[in-house]
């Protein structure tokens, strides 16, 4: 049985949102091992990053959508991952973003999130989605704000308290 390739490719001015490649693992594992991952379940060891890498692929098969790898077009480097996460235990699908070392502060996360959010609303029927954000994650709160997402309520994800933000409707707002 052949399942079609998962993540569709999306081009933005500086970035390519695409599916997973074997050599993306290094970048993902170094992000996972770093302090930068503290708000997204890390820092974590190589084993957990390996699991997350493969589960990121499997998510597309199980749900029909997922997180894209974000490639910086000019350098070909992996700048992070963005997209829709709906693991078991999530209340609804969320827009998530992981931006890797060296790629923050350039507007890439904003650019990638807008593209992923718009695509997901139009092609996956996931509109006015949420993002789970730790209130201590100042940068993510600022990005949510810039994306016009609004604080909705305090919530919980896998037993940990967090804030739930709601994104604006993309289709027929």
Give the interface with another protein as residue ranges (CB under 8 A). Answer: 1-7, 18-22, 46-47, 49-51, 53-59, 61-63, 87-89, 158
Q: How is residue 161 written in tokens?
A: 């308290």
Report, in Å, the least distance between residue 46 CB and another protein: 6
Report, in Å, the least distance between residue 96 CB and another protein: 15
- Closer of 4 and 105 to another protein (Cβ): 4
CA distance 10 to 85: 17
- Closer of 43 and 168 to another protein (Cβ): 43
Residue 57 half-sphere exposure toward CB, CA atoms < 13 A: 15
- Closer of 58 and 125 to another protein (Cβ): 58
- Closer of 54 and 142 to another protein (Cβ): 54
Report, in Å, the least distance between residue 169 CB and another protein: 27
Query: Which of 25, 75, 60, 65 lies closest to 46 in space, CA to CA?
Result: 25
Q: How is residue 171 written in tokens?
A: 């289709």
Query: Which of 93, 97, 118 lies closest to 10 in space, CA to CA?
Result: 118
Characterize 44-55 residue by residue with b for buried, 16 or more Cβ atoms within 10 angstroms of its Cβ, and e for exposed: beeebbeebbee
CA distance 83 to 56: 10
Report, in Å, the least distance between residue 58 CB and another protein: 3
- Closer of 23 and 173 to another protein (Cβ): 23
Report, in Å, the least distance between residue 148 CB and another protein: 30
């Amino acid at each position: 049985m052949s399942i079609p390739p998962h993540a569709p490719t999306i081009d933005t001015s500086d970035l390519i949102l695409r599916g997973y490649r074997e050599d993306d693992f290094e970048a993902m594992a170094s992000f996972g091992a770093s302090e930068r991952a503290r708000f997204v379940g890390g820092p974590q060891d190589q084993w957990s990053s390996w699991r997350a890498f493969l589960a990121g692929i499997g998510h597309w098969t199980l749900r029909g959508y997922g997180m894209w790898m974000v490639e910086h077009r000019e350098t070909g480097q992996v700048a992070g991952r963005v997209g829709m996460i709906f693991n078991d235990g999530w209340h609804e699908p969320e827009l998530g973003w992981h931006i890797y070392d060296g790629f923050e502060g350039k507007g890439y996360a904003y650019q990638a999130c807008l593209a992923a959010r718009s695509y997901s609303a139009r092609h996956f029927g996931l509109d006015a989605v949420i993002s789970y954000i730790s209130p201590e994650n100042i940068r993510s709160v600022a990005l949510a704000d810039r994306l016009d997402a609004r604080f909705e309520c305090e919530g919980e994800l896998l037993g940990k308290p967090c804030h739930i933000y709601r994104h604006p409707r993309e289709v027929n707002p």
